[in-house]
Structure 1
Amino acid sequence: MGFFTWLGSKLDRLAGEVFNWLSDVTTWLAEKLRTFLTALFTGLQKLWQTAVVTALIAAFGFASILYVIFYAGSVLGETIMEIWDPRYVNSKPSEVFKLKQVPQSTPLPTQRGEAKTLQLEDYY
């Protein structure tokens, strides 16, 4: 067996092992993300109608679109949800909610400026 034949057979096996490992890691990460999001939205659902919607209507009225960001709080297991009206970004402060019902391990950014802005439509 020549060197390149030997190397090719080793690379094929190694590539297969790496592919299987990446598949396992990806599955594990997807499961962690699903668990995190389920816990976050379950916790949020518990207070949405009683606390969040009431505060949003009081602050912004019945706006059709608000912006929201999520980021990790400074306390372990805390998620910050910040909501604001894009039409009044300079004249009305945002509403900030701290959620503690989420898992301690979070994929969310730790810096507010790194959070992705999402649109929140028909929140009431």
Structure 2
Amino acid sequence: MFELTVKDEFAAAHYLRNYPGACERPHGHNWKVEIAVCGTELNEIHVLIDFKDLKRFLKEVLEELDHRDLNEHPAFQDKNPSSENIARFIFENLKEKLAPYPVKLVRVSVWETERSCASYLAE
């Protein structure tokens, strides 16, 4: 089994509705994102998937979130744009882009600070 990871980042504002504390007020983060894919078969040039493609797909998903108020994004109208829900949003959108490839998206991790991370994992 092979596993590949790539990282990227985006900047966005958000607030957590009904949160009992400072996070209920609008604030922003420079979110860091790491994704991991795995697979067993290398292609004809002996790579699982080109890192360039993996990075491009991640960037395409993050562009939808970058420099936005996440509370205004349609995906977060009925749920808080928490790190957990952001990780799930990225996972679901990235999984669609990776569908034609012989890889499995296994994890999306989202850091809102250097010390705080939430991950969404494949079942």
TM-score where L is the length of structure 1: 0.30
| Higher RCO (CA < 8 A, seq sep 6+) | 2
Higher helix fraction (1 or 2):
1
**Structure number with bigger Rg:** 1
Structure with the higher strand share, 1 or 2: 2
